[in-house]
Amino acid sequence: MKKKSAIHNIRNIGIIAHIDAGKTTVTERVLYYTGRSHKIGEVHDGEAVMDWMPDEQERGITITSAVTTCQWKGNEIHIIDTPGHVDFTIEVERSLRVLDGAVGIFCAVGGVEPQSETVWRQADKYFVPKIAFINKLDRIGANYFGAVKMMQERLNANPLILQLPVGMEEDFSGIIDLIDMKQIVWDEDTMGFTYSIQEIPGDLLETAEEYREKLIETVAEVDDAIMEVYLSETPVTNESLIDAIRNATINLKLIPVLCGSALKNKGIQPLIDAIVRYLPSPADVPPIKGIHPETGEIVECIAKDTEPLAALIFKVLMTEGRKLSFVRIYSGKIKAKGDVYNPLRKENEKLARILRMHANKKERIDTAGAGSIVGVIGLKESSTGETLCSVDHPVILEKIEHDKPVISVAVEPKTHADQEKLDQVIEKFIAEDPTLKVKKDEDTGQTILSGMGELHLEIIISRMKREFKTSVNVGKPQVVYRETINIEAKASAVFDNEVAGQRQFGEVSLSLKPLGRGTGNRFKSMITDDIIPEAYIPAIEKGVMESLESGATMGYPVVDVEAVLTGGSYKDSLSTDLAYTVSASMACKAALAKGEPFLLDPIMAVEVFVPEAFIGDVIGNLNARNGKIESIEHKVGVQVVKAIVPLSKMFGYSTSLRSATQGRGTFTMQFSHFDRC
């Protein structure tokens, strides 16, 4: 077993990008050139190491974030290859939560595409330092500087060009390194494994010197030491330039930009060098902060093996009937067969095994220290987003946030035998995927699965049949609507009943007012203590908020409403929390019914990429679906139509788009907001 790297030599990085930008293709090359794989697996052949699920291989897309570890020049790199499809955004969210750095991959033809923006914003939310790799420079329509400009415009990023491409499209042959001022050319006979470092040709030297000067100017703007050297007109050394770029990257001031073509095996080794050079080790990022569960004090978890344990479960996978938990260790270390403590559940757990992951292959190890990302087997109760620590030093780390599901489907077992399996299977999926929700419809008795999109639910159904041999009938997906009110409405209610042999009394008067879209629900009290004592206000708020979970029209959750407590009455010795909760709920239901309630549709932001010849058909189709066209942008060989469309009108759109564009149109869709159609 290889000796564990010192913490300064560890890099925890994620590969993030829009669907089809080449994330998995880049990762496959990284694994090949670092010696982790012995051949390059191609996505289009269904042989990519990181796309190991049958559904991923069939569809040629990444569905689940896969973890792997590789070695490069004495450094240990943990890589998470994340999905680009918006339906699996939770995989990106939870990966970024535990990573120290990210490589954003952009297609040189498409530039910054919609999902690139989403994942980039997710990385910004967690203050993750990033480097960018402009991929597919060999493709027709590739525009390196256009992609860099889009990074500035769409991502509000400050890109720092470290490399220039030699040639473009079919003439792309190598890159110019602006730090060492050399040309790098890859040997096609060795699948890019070997490459030669050459002098920059005379016809490119002037351009390279111009961009090297721009590089130093950009770094000087964010680094005082480089600024001093630059102003004194003495040459800037490569060592000081690399150090300054590293500091600026870690402090989120600059985004180093590299380029290449992963499919043609060009540009990958300098990318791995840049990961090690510019992205932080666990010791370079500020210590993660948690909360002491008893005192509420903030606890800093310093990235050292000698510190108390603090680790976060960021993902759970059911594999071969066992629960495999993926854990990021922030401080301290864990041992196989050792005990850990879950402060949220107040339970001790035993780690049966610790595994170093390589996609779906596993290597058993005895210990893992600070900065490591490992798989563990043996955790019975603990689940995604929960903390593992020691009993003596309890700490709770911030949980992982995720969006609410927007689309539902009714599932029912085909046979009696499937009925028994179905509930267990769904339970396993929910343990794996926090964005998947299940509920039993009381009226129909159906099992309703809710997820992030049609593809998300399609994959779940496919996995049910393939992995768990559970056959189900699937009903048409139901859209998860919201409700709200149109006008202000008032209502009062009295609860005066005997409960468990004791008379209980509560009277509440409420006013419900509509709020602006996206505001959420609010509650406030406008009464004095002599009308209803303050101690009962939380019980009234609870009754109101619970009744807003089911609206008056079709029972969907009510949003964007302010409930104001305007009156009521109190009887000494008879009034109770229960009475006020029930009367508040009754008053709220009555006011909702009077407030002219109506449904809100989930509105999706849709981007359609379509060849110019089919633009009229695509716009006509979107208009027929009650879509509102917001803009049409022209890119090389393609038009980009941006629109907002109700989700209820988007079912089957992928089939309809393919037939209207002879299979050449593609689209992306993500939730925008709820609104009245």
Whether the pLDDT of residue 38 is over 80: the answer is no
CA dist 259 and 268 (Å) reads 9
How does residue 258 score in pLDDT terms, banded at 50, 70 and 90? very high
CA dist 433 and 444 (Å) reads 26
CA dist 279 and 401 (Å) reads 25
As given in the structure block, the two tokens for residue 419 are 């009925």
Q: How much is the pLDDT for 478?
A: 67
Name the nearest CA neighbour of 355 among 338, 336, 369: 336
Strands 10-17 and 334-335: unpaired
Element (H, E) at 123: helix 114-125
> Strand, helix or coil at 674?
strand
For residues 420 and 11, the model is more confident at 11
Element (H, E) at 503: strand 502-514
CB 355 within 8 A of CB 78: no
As given in the structure block, the two tokens for residue 454 are 């049609």
Q: How much is the pLDDT for 53?
A: 44
Measure the CA angle with vertex 185, ends 183 and 189; round to 5°.
170
Name the nearest CA neighbour of 527 among 546, 516, 513, 541: 541
Measure the CA angle with vertex 56, ends 52 and 57; round to 5°.
75
pLDDT in tens, 67-110: 788 888 888 888 876 654 545 556 666 677 788 899 999 988 88
Name the nearest CA neighbour of 542 among 497, 580, 592: 580
Measure the CA angle with vertex 518, ends 401 and 641; round to 5°.
90
How does residue 148 score in pLDDT terms, banded at 50, 70 and 90? very high
Q: How much is the pLDDT for 413?
A: 80
Q: How much is the pLDDT for 375?
A: 85
Name the nearest CA neighbour of 1 among 71, 53, 55: 71
Q: What is the mean pLDDT of residues 363-383?
A: 85
Which residues, including other chains, have CB under 8 Å from residue 535's CB and lie 6 or more apart? Answer: none
Measure the CA angle with vertex 183, ends 73 and 178; round to 5°.
80
CB 509 within 8 A of CB 587: yes
CA dist 105 and 522 (Å) reads 41
CA dist 451 and 411 (Å) reads 13
Q: What is the mean pLDDT of residues 278-289?
A: 89
Predicted TM-score (pTM) of the model is 0.66
As given in the structure block, the two tokens for residue 9 are 């030599």
Q: Cα separations (Å) of 259 from 26, 217, 247?
A: 11, 21, 21
pLDDT in tens, 429-460: 777 777 778 877 665 566 778 777 677 787 77
Name the nearest CA neighbour of 256 among 102, 77, 463: 102
CA dist 106 and 135 (Å) reads 6
Which residues, including other chains, have CB under 8 Å from residue 447's CB and lie 6 or more apart? Answer: 410, 411, 412, 422, 426, 438, 439, 440, 441
Q: How much is the pLDDT for 130?
A: 93
pLDDT in tens, 181-228: 999 998 887 788 888 899 988 889 999 999 999 999 999 999 888 899
Q: Which residue is it, tokens 């299940």?
A: 438
CB 371 within 8 A of CB 281: yes
b/e burial code for range 605-639 (CB count within 10 A of at least 16 → b): bbbbbbeeebbebbbebbeebebebeeeeeeeebb
Query: In this predicted structure, which of 154-168, 243-257, 266-280, 465-479 has the lowest mean pLDDT?
Result: 465-479
Burial class (CB in 10 A: 0-12, 13-18, 19+), 476: exposed
Whether the pLDDT of residue 334 is over 60: the answer is yes
Handedness of CA 59, 62, 66, 68 (dihedral sign): positive
How does residue 488 score in pLDDT terms, banded at 50, 70 and 90? very high
Q: How much is the pLDDT for 49?
A: 43
For the chain, the average pLDDT equals 82
Handedness of CA 614, 616, 617, 621 (dihedral sign): positive
Residue 6 CA neighbour count, 13 Å, CB half: 3
As given in the structure block, the two tokens for residue 525 are 């009290």
Q: How much is the pLDDT for 487?
A: 92
Q: Cα separations (Å) of 255 from 119, 247, 276, 303, 586?
A: 15, 11, 15, 25, 56
Whether the pLDDT of residue 555 is over 60: the answer is yes
User: Percentage of the chain surpassing pLDDT 90?
Assistant: 26
b/e burial code for range 418-454 (CB count within 10 A of at least 16 → b): beebbeebbebbbbbbbbbebeeeeeeebbbbbbbbb
pLDDT in tens, 562-572: 999 998 998 88
Which residues, including other chains, have CB under 8 Å from residue 84's CB and lie 6 or more apart? Answer: 17, 18, 19, 20, 21, 23, 61, 62, 115, 119
Furthest CA-CA distance within the chain: 97
Q: How much is the pLDDT for 442?
A: 61
Q: What is the mean pLDDT of residues 652-665?
A: 75
Q: How much is the pLDDT for 402?
A: 64
pLDDT in tens, 116-127: 777 787 788 788
Q: How much is the pLDDT for 313?
A: 86
CB 422 within 8 A of CB 413: yes
How does residue 45 score in pLDDT terms, banded at 50, 70 and 90? very low
Whether the pLDDT of residue 635 is over 80: the answer is no
Whether the pLDDT of residue 54 is over 70: the answer is no
As given in the structure block, the two tokens for residue 155 are 């991502």
b/e burial code for range 308-340 (CB count within 10 A of at least 16 → b): bbbbbbbbbbbeeeebbbbbbbbbbbbebebeb
As given in the structure block, the two tokens for residue 44 are 């289009």
- Provide the 10 A C-beta neighbour count for residue 256: 24
pLDDT in tens, 304-327: 888 999 998 887 777 666 778 888
For residues 301 and 320, the model is more confident at 301
Name the nearest CA neighbour of 123 among 70, 82, 161, 63: 82
CA dist 266 and 184 (Å) reads 9
Q: How much is the pLDDT for 441?
A: 65
Terminal alpha carbon distance of the chain: 61
Strands 598-610 and 638-646: antiparallel
Sheet with 288-291, side-by-side order of all strands = 298-301, 288-291, 396-397
Most confident segment among 112-126, 479-493, 646-660: 479-493
How does residue 403 score in pLDDT terms, banded at 50, 70 and 90? low
Alpha helices in 224-314 (DSSP H): 224-231, 238-250, 268-278
Name the nearest CA neighbour of 367 among 351, 382, 383: 351
